[in-house]
Structure 1
Amino acid sequence: MRRILPLLIGLLVLASCTEEAEKAARTPDAAESVTPSPTQAPEDETPQPRSPWSLPSLMDDELTSERPRRLRVSVDDPAYTEYEVRYRSGDLRVSGVLLIPTGKGPFPGVVLNHGYIEPSVYATGQGLSREQDYLARQGFAVLHTDYRGHASSDPAGDLDRETRLGYTRDAINAVHALAAEPKVDGERMAMLGRSMGGGVTMNALVAQPGLVDAAVLYASVSSDYLDNLRRWTVPERPEAAQRLFDRFGTPQEAPGFYDALSARSYFDRIDVPVLSHHGTLDDSCPLPWARTTHRLMRRAGVRSTLEVYDGEQHAFGPQWTDSMETTVAFLRRHLRR
């Protein structure tokens, strides 16, 4: 713990610099640049080995799964049936909820990635229950992943949690699991993530191009790993930040390590349209984060759309239905065959 205070000071200085950069980025004629890929070393330098704890490492993985195991029926509605399920994610088993619309199918599929909820109090399917019901009633098959370390999933390691790479693997494998359902059209798949789940979704998009046909972000965290580290880990879990710094170095000592955990470093790998929803009064994930992510995606050639909701907060309330109507229209347009 002896290094935490100076590290906090250093990170706060870095945060101040970031805020100034974001202000400049919002100026129409501001210079814009995408962080170079940390895997691309200058010609006169020897490339460094990839860290196994990085998005480039995840890019090399061949992830697969099989049809989820149905444990019990949790909702029997005329419009859909909801099951509590477990599915394979590498060597782990991950829990979640599966909603299959009533009818013959095959239905387009959507994997839902929830935001941060303390794992010790999290219950299966929590965090995106409104979206589950709405999408299933609109004819989408839905698999909401709990992530490892949540509900009845197998445990998660510290680095799986802090880097979000374990959660990203679970989201990618959820797509493969949902696509294996007999009444799901595996050629029409999408992903939707809220808050932390937005970060998980962006990670999945850059790690596995072609995994889905479209993606939706709700009140997402930043696409820069350090923004999120400064916003939550350092002030709320300083011991976790210290373990990260002790093992991999501080952001000042090892900038490439943190760049390699930032989806924005690899936005040029995203090959599907992305729709983002964000409120002007979001006090958890500030709107400038969404604007910067959108700008850098567009600069990298991504078909990115940012919908801004005046007066809407992080959880979305009065304009949530409007946002879901926009989401369904977006998904239908891009999941059409």
Structure 2
Amino acid sequence: MHKEYDGGRLRLGTEVYTTATQRQYEVTYQGGGLTISGRLAVPEGAGPFPAIVLAHGYIDPAVYVNGQGMTREREWFADHGYVALHVDYRNHAGSDDTAIGEADLRMGYAEDVINAVLALRAWAGPVDDERIALGGRSMGGGVVYNALVAQPGLVDAGVVWAPVSSDAVDSYNRWIANDPGRQDIVRAIDRLHGLPKDNPEFWDGISARTYFDQVTEPVMIHHGTSDDTCPIRWSRETARLMRAAGVDVDLEVYEGEEHAFGPQFFASMERALRFLRQHVR
């Protein structure tokens, strides 16, 4: 919350995808002393266009490739008149690596997303600087929550699909604590911060829900009732706590929909577009 952010120097790289309605490029930008890579989709036309910064869900950084994770959303938004900047995050694809890795509990990913917004604003391309939103899926939904509480007023709205819990302990218990393949991360977290049972104050301090009273932007949450990766009870509780804190939040529930959103994906995107047209203006 107290950091000074310096995102900028967005540079277009190779054009990697072209249709009658959009062009997509590999990109890099600078922020916090790091080079962060991503994928940028730009609608055809003069603009200026509203924009959305996309935060993807968890993919092992060892296998992740540029632009992976929210391909459908990026293309869909560009087809509907939004510049869409998909952030790879630090330690992913062409981004710089950091020594701490995942032991920073994804705080660094939120920094990368915040700097992406600033980089878009500083870019000379066809972006309407006053109309920018955040979007995230799964882990990226938690990244969006963190960005909203850390920098209220940065964007106009946030929209998330199948997000993780707004309580950092839930995510730690679900994916790290009991995974035999991630005990090196457990040890690093213990060494740097203490585990939840030993240092609850720290874990409250990195949980977005602790600061929902800071959020000034409207939020839309999409979640399926058959999600066995991120249970819908997490989003129900997040929405309840947001409302209690005065946040304008809309929880859209999809009966029978699973984590990845299949049959109701386009319905969720249409709802998201209506939401953004109402608030990103």
TM-score tier after normalising by the smaller chain length: over 0.9
Q: Distance in 1 between matches of 2:104 and 2:183?
A: 12
CA distance in 1, matches of 2:191, 2:14: 44
Matched residue, 1:260: 205
Matched, 1:100 2:59: no
Q: Distance in 2 between matches of 1:157 and 1:285?
A: 28
Cα RMSD after superposing both structures: 1.1
AA paired with 2:244?
R
Q: Distance in 1 between matches of 2:35 and 2:157?
A: 26
Matched, 1:192 2:130: no
C-alpha separation in 2, matches of 1:139 and 1:180: 20
Give 1:253 deviation, angstroms. Answer: 2.2
- Residue of structure 1 equivalent to 2:156: 213
Between the aligned partners of 2:40 and 2:246, the Cα distance in structure 1 is 33
Larger Rg: 1
Where does the alignment leave 5 or more consecutive residues of structure 2 unmatched?
A: none
Which runs of structure 2 are paired with 1:302-321 in the superposition (5 Å)? 302-321=247-266
- 1:156 touches 1:166 (CA, 8 Å); kept in 2? no
Cα displacement (A) at 1:175: 0.6
Amino acid at match of 1:141: V
CA distance in 2, matches of 1:67, 1:329: 31
In structure 2, distance between residues paired with 1:67 and 1:331? 26
Matched residue, 2:271: 326
Q: Tell me if the contact between 1:161 and 1:167 (Cα under 8 Å) persists in the aligned partners.
A: no
Pick the aligned partner of 1:146 from 66, 72, 88: 88
Give the superposition deviation at 1:223: 0.3
* C-alpha contact (below 8 Å) 2:41/2:85 kept by paired residues: yes
Match of residue 225 from structure 1:
168
Out of 54, 67, 70, which is 1:128 matched to?
A: 70
The equivalent residue for 2:231 is 286
Q: By how many angstroms is 1:142 displaced?
A: 0.7
**How big is each residue's C-alpha offset from its partner over 1:107-145, in whole Å with a ceiling of 9 and x where there is no partner?**
001000000001111110000000011000000001000
Q: Which amino acid in structure 2 is aligned with residue 154 of structure 1?
A: D
Aligned-residue offset at 1:163: 1.3
**1:243 aligned onto 2:176:** no
- How far off its partner does 1:251 sit? 1.8
Tell me which of 188, 192, 204 is aligned to 2:147. Answer: 204
2:60 aligns to what? 118
The worse-fitting range, judged by mean Cα deviation, of 288-297 and 148-157 is 148-157
1:92 and 1:145, CA in 2 relative to 1: closer, same or farther beyond 3 A? same
Kept in 2, the 8 Å contact 1:201–1:215? The answer is: yes
Structure holding more strand per residue: 2
- Alignment match, 2:117: 175
Specify which of 242, 246, 263 is matched with residue 301 of structure 1.
246
The aligned residue for residue 7 of structure 2 is 65
TM-score by length of 2: 0.96
Pick closer, same or farther for the CA change 1:290–1:161 going to 2, 3 Å: same
What code does the residue aligned with 2:198 have?
E
Give runs of ≥4 in structure 1 deviating > 2 Å.
Answer: 156-162, 246-250
Equivalent position SS for 2:76: helix
Distance (whole Å) between structure 2 residues aligned to residue 203 and residue 100 of structure 1: 26
CA deviation map 1:135-158 (0-9, x unaligned) = 000000010000001011110333
Choose from 90, 96, 100 the match for 1:158.
100
Q: CA shift at 1:242, angstroms?
A: 2.3
2-side partners of 1:246 and 1:98: how far apart?
Answer: 37
Contact 1:112 1:142 in 2 (8 A): yes
Answer whether contact 2:91 2:101 (CA < 8 A) is retained.
Answer: no
Deviation of 1:306 (Å): 0.3
Work out the CA distance in 2 between the residues paired with 1:141 and 1:246.
41
Identity, % of aligned positions: 51
Q: What's the CA shift string for 1:289-325, capped at 9, x where partnerless?
A: 0000000000000000000100000000000000000
Amino acid at match of 2:247: V
Q: Distance in 2 between matches of 1:113 and 1:90?
A: 18
Identify the residue that residue 14 of structure 1 maps to in structure 2. Answer: none
